[in-house]
């Protein structure tokens, strides 16, 4: 939700599994305790970096009520490749909530800059609620739960299911508790200070840690910062227009490169080619908002309509694609756009312009992506992992939500979730309307962010075309944390260690010196 598909292998696995299965102010810290002991262990399979070390510590389930038992928190550490040049330790989080921390540091597909891997140990703490730490078990319906609860009281359904499998654990899944887990791992590793690289939701988690433990915090990098006051329903609402704009940016990129992809010279022409491919895979055309029409998009014989005709096309674009979708559905009742591999890949890859070439090659059939055919066991495993991450994410969002749902969005939610199955609208409308947390009122708030006690000013990276943490809202976290901001002029979500060499150089210099002079840098597209 708040993090990109940083590894294309993960994006492909998720898309394949979906296609196979859908046939659907600082807070006062508790008194310090002795540093926990580390149990070292073999790393999970998603850790592929040679020499990576994995361990776990026992931490309180509830830090304000330690008598209520403990949970296990796993972590991975990759040591600096040049120990003689080591400058410190980076704690990282890839976003989500629900992103797999082991993969962010431990998978060799993440392009961390060589200078960073040489000079810093990197640590990723697996968030509580996910496999690798004590996971939530939300696989069984809660006692008394019904299908109507799932449709109309999503929050109550999710909490009841998770309480059924892990009694007494659900209220402990919060950003503050996850930040305190970081502190326990820091103590266990006997580190005086840590630096932080947080991506997307990780900017919030890292800022909460720095707010709670400023004297244990050195450098702080906030990559694609979210707006704290939108937590959480408001963040999802903001993503709706963000994704629509990012889709238009992608189709514009393909149109500009028509000599290569040969899918049309306007964004709308490219959209229609994309729509055709989605329909060929799923039996129905997609309902994603089409890009704005241009003069060249007027149908033959209607060129005389000129710009007024273009305005009419743009005003009726959403209605047109939904009417086409319903017509396809009437002719093919078994059709469902979510069965399209291309649609799944588009949803995951759009925030990553470094992968747009690959997506364009796939859509144009120049180099189709071969997802293979997962076995039933592999598909079920991937689906269950995604479901678990989604349940954990929903638990955090509902536990600490501060934005009331908007009932006016309920019709859009039910329409997109029950009729069109539009992946670009249904989840945003589910949270925006309040349905996703209905029956689960928030019981806590994350600490108000405050970077005034930090010895080194944080560095924030935000992009003008970011679909997941839109640029219009980037200033709030920067003000609260006192961060200097580097603006990436272009699309994309997540810029450090993700193919933008200019950003990598800026962040590396900041980690070394504590300062950055750049204010605006170009994006990769």
**What's the pLDDT at 10?**
44
Residues 6+ apart with CB under 8 A from 365: none
In this prediction, residues 221-248 reach a mean pLDDT of 97
CB–CB of 392/97 below 8 Å?
A: yes
List, in order of start, the domains of the chain with CATH numbers: 38-231+449-522 (3.40.50.1820), 236-364 (no CATH)
Question: Could you give the residue ranges of the DSSP H alpha helices within 94-139?
Answer: 101-106, 114-119
Residue 17: pLDDT band (50, 70, 90) is very low
**For residue 522, pLDDT beyond 60:** yes
Q: Looking at residue 382, what is its pLDDT?
A: 83
pLDDT of residue 300: 77
| Percent of the chain clearing pLDDT 70 (strictly above) | 93
Is the per-residue pLDDT at 415 higher than 90? yes
Query: Is the CB of residue 87 less than 8 Å from the CB of residue 119?
Result: yes
Residue whose C-alpha is closest to residue 44's, from 107, 108, 94: 107
> Residue 198 contacts by C-beta under 8 Å, 6 or more apart in sequence?
92, 93, 95, 204, 205, 206, 207, 220, 221, 222, 223
Instruction: Say if residue 13's pLDDT is above 60.
Output: no
Mean pLDDT of 249-271: 97
**Could you report the per-residue pLDDT of 187-234, keeping only the tens digit for each?**
999 999 999 999 999 999 999 999 999 999 999 999 999 999 999 999
Judged by DSSP in three states, 77 sits in strand
Binned at pLDDT 50, 70 and 90, residue 366 comes out as very high
Q: How far apart are CA 428 and CA 440, in angstroms?
A: 18
How sure is the predictor about 15, in pLDDT bands with cuts at 50, 70 and 90? very low
Q: Which of 99, 105, 136 is nearest to 2 (CA)?
A: 99
- More confidently predicted of 195 and 142: 195
Specify the long-range contacts of residues 317-323, CB closer than 8 Å, at least 24 apart. 317/289, 317/290, 317/292, 317/293, 318/287, 318/289, 318/290, 320/290, 321/275, 321/285, 321/286, 321/287, 321/288, 321/289, 321/290, 322/287, 322/420
3-state helix, strand, coil in the chain (%, to 5): 50, 15, 40
To the nearest whole number, what is the mean pLDDT of the chain? 91
Alpha-carbon distance of 55 to 44, in angstroms, equals 11
Instruction: Name the more confident of 13 and 166.
Output: 166
How many CB atoms neighbour CB 355 within 10 A?
21
Task: Flag whether pLDDT at 442 surpasses 70.
Answer: yes
Segments of 202-331 assigned E as strands: 217-223
Q: How confident is the model at residue 2, as a pLDDT?
A: 53
pLDDT tens for each residue of 449-474: 999 999 999 999 999 999 999 999 99
pLDDT (average), residues 393-412: 96
**Ramachandran sector of residue 174 (left: φ over 0; alpha: ψ -120 to 50; beta: rest):** beta
Residue 22 pLDDT > 70? no
| pLDDT at position 21 over 50 | no
CB 95 within 8 A of CB 3: yes
**Does position 30 have pLDDT exceeding 50, yes or no?**
no
Percent of the chain residues past pLDDT 90, beyond the cut: 82
pLDDT of residue 158: 92
Of 21-25, 221-225, 376-380, 468-472, the poorest mean pLDDT is in: 21-25
The pLDDT assigned to 374 comes to: 81
- Rounded CA gap, 264 and 131, in Å? 45
Q: For residue range 290-310, list pLDDT tens digits in order.
A: 999 988 888 876 665 678 878
Looking at residue 29, what is its pLDDT?
A: 43
Q: What is the pLDDT of residue 508?
A: 98
The band of 446, judged by pLDDT with boundaries at 50, 70 and 90, is very high
Model confidence at 479, pLDDT cuts 50, 70, 90, reads very high
Residue 11 has pLDDT above 60, yes or no: no
The mean pLDDT value for 332-360 works out to 97
First-last CA distance in the chain? 22
Averaged pLDDT, 333-354: 96
Q: Which residue has the higher pLDDT, 139 or 508?
A: 508
State residue 297's pLDDT score: 82
Is the model's pLDDT at 289 over the cut of 60?
yes
At residue 149, the pLDDT reads 79
Give the pLDDT confidence score for residue 361 in this predicted structure: 98
Residue 94: closest CA among 213, 186, 6: 6
One DSSP character per residue, 449-475 reads P--TT-SS--EEEEEEE-SSS-GGGTH
**In the predicted structure, residue 20 carries a pLDDT above the cut 80:** no
């Amino acid at each position: 939700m708040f993090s990109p598909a940083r590894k294309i292998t993960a994006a492909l696995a998720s898309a394949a599994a979906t296609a196979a299965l859908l046939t659907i102010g600082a807070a006062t810290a508790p008194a310090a305790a002795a540093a926990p002991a580390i149990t070292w262990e073999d790393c999970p399979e998603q850790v592929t970096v040679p020499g990576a070390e994995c361990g776990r510590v026992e931490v309180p389930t509830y830090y304000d009520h330690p008598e209520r038992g403990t949970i296990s928190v796993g972590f991975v550490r990759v040591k600096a490749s040049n120990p003689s040049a080591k400058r410190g330790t980076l704690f990282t989080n890839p976003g989500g909530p629900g992103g797999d921390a082991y993969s962010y540091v431990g998978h060799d597909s993440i392009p961390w800059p060589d200078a960073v891997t040489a000079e810093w140990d990197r640590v990723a703490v697996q968030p509580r609620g996910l496999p690798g730490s004590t996971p939530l078990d939300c696989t069984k319906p809660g006692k008394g739960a019904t299908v109507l609860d799932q449709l109309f009281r999503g929050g109550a359904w999710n909490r009841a299911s998770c309480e059924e499998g892990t009694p007494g654990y659900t209220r402990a899944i919060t950003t503050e508790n996850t930040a305190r887990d970081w502190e326990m791992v820091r103590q266990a590793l006997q580190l005086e200070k840590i630096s932080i690289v947080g991506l997307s939701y990780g900017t919030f988690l890292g800022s909460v840690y720095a707010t709670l433990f400023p004297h244990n915090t050195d450098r702080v990098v906030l990559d694609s910062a979210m707006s704290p006051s939108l937590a959480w329903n408001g963040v999802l609402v903001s993503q709706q227009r963000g994704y629509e704009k990012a889709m238009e940016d992608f189709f514009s990129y393909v149109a500009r490169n028509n000599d290569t992809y040969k899918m049309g010279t306007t964004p709308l022409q490219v959209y229609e080619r994309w729509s055709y491919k989605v329909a060929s895979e799923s039996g129905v055309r997609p309902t994603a908002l089409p890009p704005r029409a241009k003069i060249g998009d007027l149908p033959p014989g209607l060129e005389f309509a000129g710009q007024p005709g273009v305005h009419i096309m743009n005003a009726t674009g959403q209605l047109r694609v939904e009417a086409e979708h319903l017509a396809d559905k009437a002719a093919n009742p078994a059709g469902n756009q979510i069965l399209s591999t291309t649609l799944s890949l588009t949803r995951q890859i759009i925030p990553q312009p470094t992968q747009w070439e690959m997506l364009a090659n796939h859509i144009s059939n120049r180099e189709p992506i071969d997802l293979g055919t997962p076995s039933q066991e592999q598909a079920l495993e991937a689906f269950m992992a995604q479901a678990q991450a989604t349940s954990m994410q929903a638990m955090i969002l509902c536990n600490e939500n501060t934005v009331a749902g908007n009932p006016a969005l309920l019709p859009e939610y039910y329409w997109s979730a029950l009729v069109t199955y539009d992946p670009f609208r249904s989840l945003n409308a589910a949270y925006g309307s309040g349905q996703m947390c209905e029956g689960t009122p928030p019981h806590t708030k994350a600490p108000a962010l405050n970077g005034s006690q930090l010895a080194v000013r944080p560095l924030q990276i935000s992009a003008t075309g970011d679909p997941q943490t839109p640029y219009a809202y980037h200033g709030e976290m920067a003000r609260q944390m006192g961060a200097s901001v580097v603006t990436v002029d272009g699309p994309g979500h997540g810029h450090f260690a993700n193919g933008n060499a200019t950003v990598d150089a800026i962040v590396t210099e900041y980690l070394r010196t504590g300062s950055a002079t750049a204010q605006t840098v170009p994006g990769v597209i």
